[in-house]
Amino acid sequence: MKARIAVLGAAIGGAIAIACFSERGAGPGSSSAAECSVPVSVIDSMHFIVAIQNFTFQPDSISVPPGATVTWVNCEVAGTEPHTTTADGAQWNSTDLSPGQRFSHTFPAPGAFPYHCTPHGFMLGKVVVE
């Protein structure tokens, strides 16, 4: 039986973000699809999620406080090419993320951090730490 995590986030501008994804496929080498409901952004005040779905980062720009952790979850369907989350300034670089896999990075200091998917250069995003 596959385990599911449902996370209810904090209210942002009156909207509540809900993340729902499968635990199967969370480990290395997995090729099973994740199940995501987007927009997904906030787990709590220090943990944020960006979904990778339909060859986009959702949301493509996110503001977080210093010390927050952002987790990217590949929500593409099984068989889709892997994606990465790679900082333009080399602050982080994930391995290839197959559907269902995730990668996290903690942002210790303020700044703007644009990033992209290495295999798909048209996939762009930004984390703003303020």
pLDDT at res. 130: 97
pLDDT at residue 66, rounded to an integer? 98
Counting every residue written for the chain, the total comes to 130
SS3 58: strand
* Rounded Cα distance, 75 and 22, in Å: 10
Distance, in Å, from the CA atom of 64 to the CA atom of 9, rounded to the nearest integer, reads 14
Mean pLDDT of 26-49: 62
Answer whether residue 128 shows pLDDT above 50. Answer: yes
Residue 86: predicted pLDDT: 98
Write down the mean pLDDT value for the chain. Answer: 78
What are the distances in angstroms from CA 62 to CA 83, 115, 129?
Answer: 19, 12, 9
C-beta of residue 71 within 8 angstroms of C-beta of residue 42: no
Residue 5 token pair: 């995590």
Model confidence at 74, in pLDDT bands (50, 70, 90)?
very high
Which tens digits make up the pLDDT trace of 38-69? 454 788 899 999 999 999 999 999 999 999 99
- 15 strand-pairing partners: 12
Q: What is the DSSP letter of 122?
A: T
Q: What domains sit in the chain, N to C, each tagged with a CATH number?
A: 4-129 (2.60.40.420)
At 19, is the pLDDT very low, low, confident or very high (cuts 50, 70, 90)? very low
